[in-house]
Structure formats: C-alpha cells, structure tokens
Amino acid sequence: MSNLAQLDAYSHEQALAHLRLMYAKPEHPYYFLAPAYRESSSGVVSLHYLCHMLNLSGREAYMCGSDVVNPDLKTPVITSAIKQRHKAAGKVPIAVYPEVFPGNPLNCSVVARFLLNFEGFLTGNGMDAAPSDLFFYYAARLAEHRGDPDGDLLCLPAIDIELFAPPPAGTERAGSYLYQNRHPLEQVDYSLLPADIRLLSMTNPLTLPQLAEALRKAEVMYSYEWSMTCVMAVLCGCPVIFIPGHGVDQPLLDNSFFGSVGFAMLDHPEPLAHARASLGEALPRYVERTASFWQQLDVFIDRTQEAADREAVGNRLGVLDWLRQRTPTAQQLLQINERLASPTAPSFTVLVRDNGDQSALALTLDSLDQQLYQRIHVCVVGGTDPARANVQWVEGDPGRPAGVINGLLDGTQTDWLMLVEAGETFVAAGLLVAAVNLLEAPDSCLAVFADEAVRIGGVVNLSLRPDLNLDLLLASAASLSRHWMYRREALVRLSGFDPSCGGAFELAYQLRLIGEQGMASIGHVSEPLLIANELRQSECSDERAVMEAHLQARGYAQARAIALQEDPSRYRIDYGHEQQASVSIAIYLEGQLANFQRCLESLLIQTSAVDFEVLLIEPGNDDPALLEWLGLVEQMGAGRFQLLRFMPGQSRAAMCNAAAQEARGDYLLWLDAHSAVLEPGWMQALLNQAQRPEVGAVGGKLQDSQGRIRQAGLVLGLGGVVGRAFEGASAHAAGHMGRLGLEQSYSALGGECLMLRRSLFLEAGGFDTDPLLAPWTHVDLCLKLQQAGYVNVWTPFARLLVDPLPDIQASSEQEDAFFARWMPRLACDPAYNANFSLRAAGGFVPQNNDLSWFPLQGSVPKVLVCVTDQQAGAYSRLVQPFSTLVEAGQIEGAAVSSLLSPVEIERLAPTAVVLQRPLDDAGLLTLSRLRAFSKAFTVYDLDGYLPEVDLKGACSADELLERLRFGLLQVDRVLVPTAALAELLQGQHDDIRVLEPVLPAEWGRVQSNRRVGAKPRLGWLGGKDTQLLADVLPAFAGEVDWVVLGDCPAALQPFLKEQHPNVPQQQLATAMAALNLDLALVPMAHTVGNACSGDLRVLQHAAYGHPVICSRVPGFVGGEVLPLTRVDNQTQDWVRAIRLHLEDRDASAALGDALQSTVRAQWLLEGERLEAWRRAWLAD
C-alpha cells in the first residue's frame, strides 16, 4: 500500500506537475497530419505513438491525415464537430507535421515540425516552413544537418522492447536476411551476400510479431540502408552488416541515434565478429538513448502550448488571422515579381535599433529574412553584432541614432530608408506591397508611411492610418511618426536627420518636409507593414520642442503642445491666438420647448470669456407655450439674443442662410436645439481651431444621454452615403488609434455643432438650398470648404450632450443628387482608411479581405461579381469562373452575395461588374446607379427563363419580364447559357452572348468504378423531372440496383438500393464519386425553361465516365455533340435504351470512356473555355 515514505521518493517537480495536471483546464489541442498507420514504417508509427502519448499525458491530440489508426492506441480521428468545439472554446490547434509534408496544409497558426528524417530525403521537396514554426528532431544528427545543433530532440521510443528481445539462451540461430526498402532491388549485388540470403522487403512487410520472430532466429541481417528495423534486429540479438557505398558508412553509424552497437560495415576485416561483440550493449544503449524522451516530451508540450497561448492572446481580436490572409498566392507572387523585375523597382534599407534584447532582435531579423521581397539591406544600430549573413552592424546609441544614420547615407545605395525597433516583426507581404506602390511613386514623393498593427499586452490590434492628417500627427506624434520610409536621395540632399532633435529626429524631418515641400510630398501605403511594439505612455520633451518649433514656423508664435493627462505621449495644441473673436450661435428651433430651454441654460452657464450672441431661428411654430417663452427670451436678452421669425414653408437651409446675414459675430456656430453644453471651455476649444487661417469648419464631440457617442466627425460613404464616426461607442472609449480623444481633420463634420468664420460661410455660398441636398447641407458645405483647400477640424475638447430628433430617411432621388455631386470624394475619404468597412455602424471595423486585399494592384482587370442566390447556376456561371480566373491570375476582385452600395462599388473601382439576374427593387436601383455613377463595364448574367426559374418573392410573369427589360437597358452586355434563351431576348439588347457553363478543371481528374456490385448500378441526379422515370424503375425490379443522389419522389423510393443526400454544388464532385454507376439516366421535360437552362448533368456524369441516356430535348450543355443515348420521354423508349446498354455492357462502358475523354478535352474550365469567360466579362 502507498505510504508517506513511498510518496517522498517522487521528485517535488514531478509531484507538483501531476497535481497541476489533475485540475488543469483543457489545453490547446494537437492536430497530427500523418499517413495511415502501418507497422512497416517506423516514422509513421512514431507519429501515431506521439499522438497516443500526448493523450495519455492528459493532453488532447487527434489524427487528421487518415482514419486508419491502430485500435490499441489512443489516437482519435478529428471531426468537424470537434474542430468547431475547439474554435468555440477559443483553443488554438497545434499542427504537427513530419518533414514529408510541405507548407501548412491544416492551415493552423501554430506549427510543430517533427523531423524523423532529413528534409527532402524521402520526397525530394523542402518543408516550406514559416519562421514561426517550431522544430523537433528525432535524432541529434538531424538537428545538426539543418544547422540547428542545439535544437530540441524528441527521441520517441517506437520499439516494443518486450516484443523485440533476444530469444531464450541456447536458441539456435540460422539463416541470413537482406533488408530492402528504398534501395532498388535490381541494384542488389548478390555476390557480396551469403548464398542462402532471404529477402526482408518492405514491399511485402511482415507484421511486427512476424518480424520479431524472424529476427530472433536469424544469424545476421544485411542492409544497404539505415532503418529502425536495423535497431529492432540488434535488440533481437541479430547483428547487422551494412554494405558500403550506398549512403551508409562508419561515421554515419557512429553518429546515428543508436551508434554502432551491433552494427558493422561489410568492409571491416571481421564484420560479423565485430558486430556480435557489442550485441550485449543493445538494450542498455536503447534505454539510454530514449530515457530522455519523457523530459523531451515535457519540453515539446511546454514550447507548443506556450506558442499557442501567445497566439491565442495575440489573435484575440482576430487581427493575426486578418493579416495572414493578406498574403499573395503563388500565382499572384509570380506576377508581382515579374512587375518588380524592373530596374526601377525600389530597394530598402531597414535600420533596426537594438536596445540589447537579443531575442527581440532575432524576431525582427527573422521576419526580414522571410519577406516576400528581398531587395533589402538590413543594418542593426547599437547592441552587439548579431553576426548574421547580409546584416550590417553599426555601433551607436539606438536611442539617439540620427548621427549614425546620417553617416550611413552616402555609403548606402538603396532608394528608401526606414527605422524599426528590435522586436517589431514585418508582415510577410509588407515590403512587397510597399515596393509595388513605390514603383509608381513620383519623384516628388519624398516620404511614405504605411499602416501597421500594434502588440499591446500581447494582444495584436490594427492601426490603420488615415492619409496624411497633420492635426492627428501632432496630436499623436509618438505613434504616427514612426516607421516612415524616406527617399534616401532627398535625405542626403537635405543633410539628413537633425541630431539636435534627440529622440524626435524623425518627426522633425517629417514636419520639415511638410513645411518646405508641402503635404503632397508625403505618400500613404494603405497596407499593414509590420507588427509594432507597444508605445511608451510618457511625455517626450524632444517631441514637444520639435512640434512647437514647427508651429512657430507656421506663424503661431505663442503655440504650445500640451501633454494629455490620461496619456502624456499624446498632445493637445494650444495655438495661442491673441485676437479675441466674437461668435454668433445660431439655433434652429425644431422640437420640444424643454430641449430649447436646456440648450440655452447650459450655454449660458458653461460659456464665459467669449463675446457671443444667440440667434434663435423660429421657422413659424404655432405652439403658444413656445411663443410665450420666445417673447420672454427676446425681452430679457436684448443685445445677447436675436429672434429671427420666418414664415412656414421656407427651407431650413434658406432660413439659416438668412440668419447668417443677420449675424454680427466674426464666427458662426450652428448648434442643435436638442444639445446641451457639458463643460466650460468648450467655446475656447472650438475657437482655438477655427481661428487658424487654414481651417474651414470645426466640430465638437457629441454624446447621448446614455453615455454613447452620437457623432465624432463624419465618414464619407459610411452606411451608404455619410455616417457618424464612432457612433454607439462609449463616450469614454479611446477609439481606433485613440482618435476619440485627439484633435484631427475630417472631410466633413456634423451640423449639430459646427463653427466657421462668417465671412467664409458667406464666401462659400452658405448652405445649398436645393431640396435634393437637404439631408446633407452641412456635409455639402464641409466638402466645398475642403475642395477650396481648407481643413475641417474635429476637437474632443468641446463636449456636448445631444438628444436629437430621429433621422429622416433620405429618398433615392436625394441620394442620387448627392452622389452626382460628390461621388469621387465619397469613395475616397482621406480621413478613413481604405481597409475599413463602410457598412459597420460607427465605422473603423476592418473590411473583409475579399473586398480589400488586391495585391496585383491594377495589373489585371478587377471584377466584381454579385451573386443573387446559391442555386446551381450561380455556382457554375459566376462563383466557379470567378475563382478560377483569380487563381489563374487573369483577374482579381470580389464575389459577393449581397449588393454593394454605389460608394462601395466606386471605392472598389472595378473594371467590370457582373450581376446575376438583378430583378428586385434593390437590384434594379443598383443597375441604374451603376450606369449613372460608375465607369465599370456592366454585365447582366441571365441563367434561365424567368417564369420557370425558382425565384424568391411573388411576382407575376409579366412583372418579371418588365423588370428584366428595365434591367437589360442599364447594362453593357447580357450573357445567357443557351441559344434558345438568346433567341427569346432578341431585340431587347444589342450585345447578347451565349456562354455555355462548363465543369471546373478538377472534374477532369475524377474517377468512378464500374461493376462494383452483383447487379448493374443505374442512377441519376435527383431533383429535376424525375417523374419521367415513374414507370421505368418497376420494369427493372430485381435486375438492377437503383442509386440516386438527391431528392426522389416517395413513390420511387421503395425501388432504390441507395439514396445519397443532396450536397452543395462545390461538393458535388466528391459526392458523385460514391455512386459508381454503370449507367446514368438524365431525364428532362420538354419546356421553354428547360430549353433555356444550360443543364450540366450530362457533363457531370460524362466526367465520371458514366454512359448516359438522356431525354431528347434541348437544354443540355453538350447535348447536341456528345456521344449520348437520347430518347423520347416515353417509358418504352427509356426501357428499350436501358436494355440495349445492359445487353452489351462492354460497349456501354466504351461509350462512357468516350464521353469522359471528350469532356476532359473540351468541356472543362481551362484554356480557351476559361478565356471565353474572361472575354465575356470584360469590354471588347
């Protein structure tokens, strides 16, 4: 029984580990990609046993490569339900690959590679490993060979020492074996071997018990190759002699996992005696070499779980996944590299500031090694020499490296230079995308900044920057001034960085460029370049000095940069205006009296030290209480209040314009009547910006009574036309990049609190009085100011409470009027990054990569495909051609299942837009707006005869055809699947083209088996006109096995041998492989709809080599040219045709083979067929 003395024998660490394991939460799971279990491969056995041991040690591990496992091991096969459970629990799967699997086929974010042999030895291919992959080696020589002598070992004991053990003493041994696996049998030199040699070949492997029995009786085993079978032999007391000259020599044996125990080379003077002499050391040697496995397994678990934990934390917001998806495909990379083969392609010097953390420096240098663009020179400043090939090291102070950098400029011949901190890691395609952008950059572009991600507390979040925003740069200099790329020639010409600026030397150079060369000298690459280190949150006197010097140079002699209390690394600029300004506050009285009273009271209480008047714009109210109150206000506020009464029926814009004429102040402040000022100093905050001569309008921070942001600037295009920035966020939130607390410029500001110079308002013509622009008069004004060269500034330091009236839905005519005036601006808001969605309420949510990641950047046409439904026609005519053309690198673009807004489409800037039969109101409106506002070539894809197409919504046939006629008038081209449908549309459009659907290219590789059952297998794809076979199936009762994939009428189900469930179109090829038909039937009724449909069933069966009997009707793709058996839709004709095929099954099979050959040669989506789709979607 257990007692304290026995328990004391355990090590403290082991006991502690066991206690923790008992109560530990489930860790991240392991997904093993391994071949099917087979005893003849020690490598395969090792993988399965590692999975087994992880499960026995309390971890969760699964096999993914095959469902063939050893039932005696705990190696469960992964299922989709288990994967979903892991995803829901926030677990990060750890992929475990042997060296024979290249890349990351399981698409896991954490990868452990278990090298059981030399890389490429078995397959001839490399592993294509990522820099973040973890490596574990079965033997030390594998680690040394890969240049990783200190790499982690995992010497898994894959041999059962009870089974592979010497026979009882005195057992007679006889006979010799030749072990043969990869060495070609025809190259065996039998003259070197005993005459009675027997072959132990892995071509016909023995079971492990049989192998052990043979080795316990054998006198000797010969081999041309090293294998774990050789170790098994020695453990059984059978010496092994290796034949030299074929990859095995004495040094290899001495350095192998097992050493030379029980082994000898054939060229040894006494090989057999030499090998026998050390047989007694075999078991001790094996125990010694595998004893460390348990500690190695702990290291394996610790390192992989640590990596998964880091990934789980870092990817908590999904940013790492979003970044990883932004990697070009192999085809795209090939095309990009061809483009960058130009002698003018940019080159980069990346200066890494090393603060002494060697692991941080290694992260940065590793990420640079793995860049998809390699015209890079890497220089490390400070720390110690990393002693890496192609990395220059320069001694210096990494905190103040300006002087060192200036000294490098003349000796560096690259085009662009940038600085990063050690620990920051480049996104794989970051510099590649930057290079493509800079390839077209004009000489006047002297500096460029990109987007980035930031790791804060381990969590990675995006920092998607707006275009150059000087106000935001000054407010958040520490964040926005880092990681710029500088044109080296300009740096040399301008004498480099200014060392006197200390740690703010980059900011000083940036502000100098802006001041001397203008804002146009700065570019923006809207693509994440790297994952940056967390920012300091402390004040930097160098930054403040540089900013104040810049402001003084701009004419603000008394300007100060004031560090924010909540984050001293960020600033508020006080421009130090000396001139006092007067303000006319204009309030349009719409709504409830109580709100008006609250507005005025808060205004009077919270406003001081400013000369202001209040203009009350009364639009003809008839509320007695309101009129009485207005009379009192007018009497009390002589000189302070003006009451401007208007007759009902005038537009709000016209009344506001008239009020501006009456205003006496230097500045106008348009204030919502439902607002309330929250704190003193708000007016000074607005005037601080409005008094700048370069500023147009100024807006404040509005929140509702629930403490949520109502408006913090406006985003063009957001929500369809214009949306409120950060709407719905907490009023105390920092917002993306801290923007909710920072002064910055926006293209447009809300009308609830809008200040600008009165003279400028009048100069701009005031608010536009066109009723079609009524919902956006303030936006229209801001855009006119921006167009005139003014900056519209938003400040968070003027806070107001607002309970506005409900928004009035703009009409489509009003939206169209606004689009007509401002569409180019709406589609490209410089204050809003192009990688943000225009759909999310409040904005600042990353866009789906399908709509924002286009790495070819205009070198191929961009196509937008709009799919209405998920029917078969959508897949064969839209989804599959699109994805195939993208994979081939012939186009790029997006396939979407919902219509995009006009602004989204203009922002995407497609070459062509292809729409699947748009018929509803939204679809027809999209068509008309495409014609009005887009330059894209538009294509209407009509996949069938509308009265017989299964459509959502209740429309009569006449209404459908009327909608179709309207839609066709809006587009440039119409595509149909059949000549019959083209004929029906004759005269309704000038460019109607027949484009037959074909099969995806992978259908050219599908296979089927014939004669797999005792009876012939006949079947069809269900769901269409199956009733035509109602009397056919009973005629063959007992003669054949009927098989159907999909729906089948209840009356026919008793005749079925098998019914396979319906599957989505993209899974049909896999599903059909299970049918194994000897003969396929394709019934179809003779209707107008069928004749127009372009039915693919004949091609699908033909791809599998199924002989086909089909209805003699129009509408089948290939039906007129393929070798088919066509019959009238009469029972006797179907029965007669089936009998003919069954009577001569060889001839029937030959027809199937002919069909398959024809389809593979002519009816796949490749070559000319694929080119036909590309031509059809693009303008001639």
Question: What are the tens digits of pLDDT across the range 158-180?
Answer: 888 999 999 998 888 988 999 99
Q: What is the predicted pLDDT for the residue at 907?
A: 98
pLDDT over 90 for what percent of the chain? 80
Q: List C-alpha distances in Å: 982 to 349, 757, 974, 993, 994.
A: 59, 62, 9, 7, 7
Q: Is the pLDDT of residue 50 over 50?
A: yes
2 — pLDDT class (breaks 50, 70, 90): very low
Name the helix (H) or strand (E) containing 618.
strand 611-618
Classify residue 767 as exposed, middle or buried by CB count within 10 Å of its CB (0-12, 13-18, 19+).
Answer: buried
Question: Above 90 in pLDDT, residue 810?
Answer: yes
- Please check whether residue 892 is in contact with residue 862, taking contact to mean a CB–CB distance below 8 angstroms: yes
Mean predicted confidence (pLDDT) in 695-719: 97
φ/ψ of 1051, rounded to 5, equals -65, -25
Quickly list DSSP for 539-587. --HHHHHHHHHHHHHTT-TT-EEEE-SS-TTSEEEE----S--EEEEEE
Q: Which residues contact 739 (CB under 8 A, 6 or more apart)?
A: 472, 712, 726, 844
pLDDT beyond 80 at 507: yes
What's the pLDDT band for 21 if we cut at 50, 70, 90?
Answer: low
Domain boundaries, the chain: 7-153, 176-278, 338-573, 582-826, 860-994, 1001-1164
Reported as a pLDDT band with limits 50, 70 and 90, residue 4 is: very low
* Residue 19: pLDDT band with limits 50, 70, 90: low
Q: What is the CA radius of gyration of the chain?
A: 38
| Rounded percentage of the chain residues whose pLDDT exceeds 70 | 97
Average pLDDT over residues 469-492: 98
- Helices (DSSP H) in 671-756: which residue ranges? 682-690
Stated pTM of the model: 0.87
Class of domain 582-826 as given by CATH? alpha beta
**What is the per-residue pLDDT for 181?**
87
With CA atoms as reference, report the closest residue to 1044 among 1010, 1012, 1074.
1074
SS3 labels along 877-892: HHHHHHHHHHHCCCCE
Question: 425 pairs with which residues across the strands?
Answer: 531
- Cα–Cα dist 207/45, whole Å: 13
Mode of pairing for the β-strands spanning 134-137 and 110-115: parallel
Q: Are 227 and 215 in contact (CB under 8 A)?
A: no
On average, the pLDDT of the chain sits at 93
Say if residues 87 and 23 touch (Cβ distance below 8 Å).
no
- What is the rounded distance in angstroms from the CA atom of residue 189 to the CA atom of residue 185? 9
- Own/partner long-range contacts of 1029-1037 (Cβ < 8 Å, ≥24 apart): 1029/1081, 1029/1083, 1029/1134, 1031/1131, 1032/1081, 1032/1131, 1032/1134, 1032/1135, 1032/1138, 1035/1131, 1035/1135, 1036/1135, 1036/1138
* pLDDT at residue 360 tops 50: yes
Q: Determine how β-strand 484-487 pairs with β-strand 447-456.
A: antiparallel
How far is residue 101 CA from its own chain's centroid? Answer: 23
| Contact criterion met (CB below 8 Å) for 919 and 945 | no
Residue 673 confidence (pLDDT) above 60: yes
How large is the average pLDDT for residues 257-284?
Answer: 90
In this predicted model, what pLDDT tens digit does every residue of 1102-1117 receive, in sequence order? 999 999 999 999 999 9
Tell me: pLDDT of 504 over 90: yes
Q: Please give the Cα distance from 1132 to 1035 (Å, whole number).
A: 10
As given in the structure block, the two tokens for residue 995 are: 């484009």
Do the domains at 860-994 and 1001-1164 have one common CATH topology?
Answer: yes
Architecture category of domain 1001-1164 in CATH: 3-Layer(aba) Sandwich (3.40)
Residue 499 CA: distances (Å) to CA of 408, 419, 509, 538, 544? 14, 15, 11, 21, 16
| Whole-angstrom distance, CA of residue 805 vs CA of residue 483 | 45
Residue 476 CA to residue 1122 CA, distance in Å, equals 69
> 1037-1052, pLDDT tens digit by residue?
999 999 999 999 999 9
Quick one: average pLDDT of 117-144? 86
Average pLDDT over residues 215-240: 93
Residue-level pLDDT at 676: 97
Residue 222 in this model has a pLDDT that exceeds 50: yes
pLDDT band with cut points at 50, 70 and 90 for residue 793: very high
Kindly indicate the confidence band of residue 290, based on its pLDDT and cuts at 50, 70 and 90: confident
Taking residues 929-949, report their average pLDDT. Answer: 94
CATH code of the domain made up of 338-573: 3.90.550.10
Bin 612: left if φ > 0, else alpha if -120 < ψ < 50, else beta: beta
Question: Looking at residues 547-559, what average pLDDT do you find?
Answer: 97
Confidence tier at 559 by pLDDT (50, 70, 90): very high
The confidence score (pLDDT) of residue 7 equals: 47
pLDDT exceeds cutoff 80 at 121 = no
Is the pLDDT score of 885 beyond 90?
yes
Q: Is residue 933 pLDDT above 60, yes or no?
A: yes
Which residues have CB under 8 Å from 144's CB, separation 6+? none
* pLDDT band, very low/low/confident/very high, at 15 (cuts 50, 70, 90): low
| pLDDT band at 3; cut points 50, 70, 90 | very low
Across the range 702-721, mean pLDDT stands at 97
C-alpha distances out from residue 701 to 686, 707, 718, Å: 11, 12, 18
Domain 860-994 has what CATH class? Answer: alpha beta
CATH fold of the domain at 176-278 = Rossmann fold (3.40.50)
